[in-house]
């Protein structure tokens, strides 16, 4: 099965206190509200969550993301995550948080998502750049939603 991958790296500032930003972006039960296409989730344990995304159906290709991720917060400034039980997707990433005064927090965020899609090799070659771009765009949309939600 062909793999598609997208990476989004971004450094941005959220106009909110460090504790509020960290409290939202390191807690899956809170940041799940900003997933743009989440249809189902399951807390496996205190650090691990299963995510199921909306089914996408484009040009005869169907895909519904399903993956389980373990999150590790160092208690100070860094959140890391990795897929521990891949369904048809994997996610690996890191976010670091830096206090910028009392009312702003800088976030350095990088995430790579890979998807296994059931398409033939010829079609995969044609759609790969589009799918890779859409994956990165989805992560960017999530970050935009988080920033807007926290600043609201």
Q: In this predicted model, what pLDDT tens digit does every residue of 138-151 receive, in sequence order?
A: 999 999 999 999 99
pLDDT(105) > 80: yes
Mean pLDDT (whole number) for 133-141: 90
pLDDT(85) > 90: no
pLDDT score recorded for residue 128:
87
* 149 alpha-carbon distance from chain centroid: 16
- The structure tokens 């044609």 sit at 126
pLDDT(59) > 80: no
pLDDT score recorded for residue 130:
85
Q: What is the CATH number of domain 3-151?
A: 3.30.530.20
Beta strands in the chain (DSSP E): 3-14, 38-43, 48-58, 61-73, 78-86, 89-99, 105-116
pLDDT(11) > 90: yes
pLDDT score recorded for residue 60:
72
Full-model pTM: 0.91
């Amino acid at each position: 099965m062909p793999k598609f991958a997208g990476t989004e790296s971004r450094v941005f500032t959220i106009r909110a206190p460090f504790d509020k930003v960290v409290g939202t972006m390191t807690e899956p039960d809170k940041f799940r509200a900003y997933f743009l296409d989440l249809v189902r989730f399951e807390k496996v344990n205190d650090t691990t969550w299963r995510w199921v995304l909306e089914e996408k159906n484009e040009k005869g290709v169907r895909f519904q993301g399903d993956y389980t991720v373990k999150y590790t917060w160092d208690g100070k400034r860094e959140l890391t995550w990795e897929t521990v039980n891949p369904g048809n997707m994997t996610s690996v990433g890191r976010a670091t948080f830096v206090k910028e005064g009392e009312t702003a927090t800088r976030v350095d965020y990088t995430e790579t998502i890979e998807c296994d899609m059931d398409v033939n090799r010829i079609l995969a070659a044609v759609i790969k750049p589009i799918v890779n771009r859409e994956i990165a765009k989805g992560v960017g949309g999530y970050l935009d939603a988080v920033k807007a939600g926290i600043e609201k």
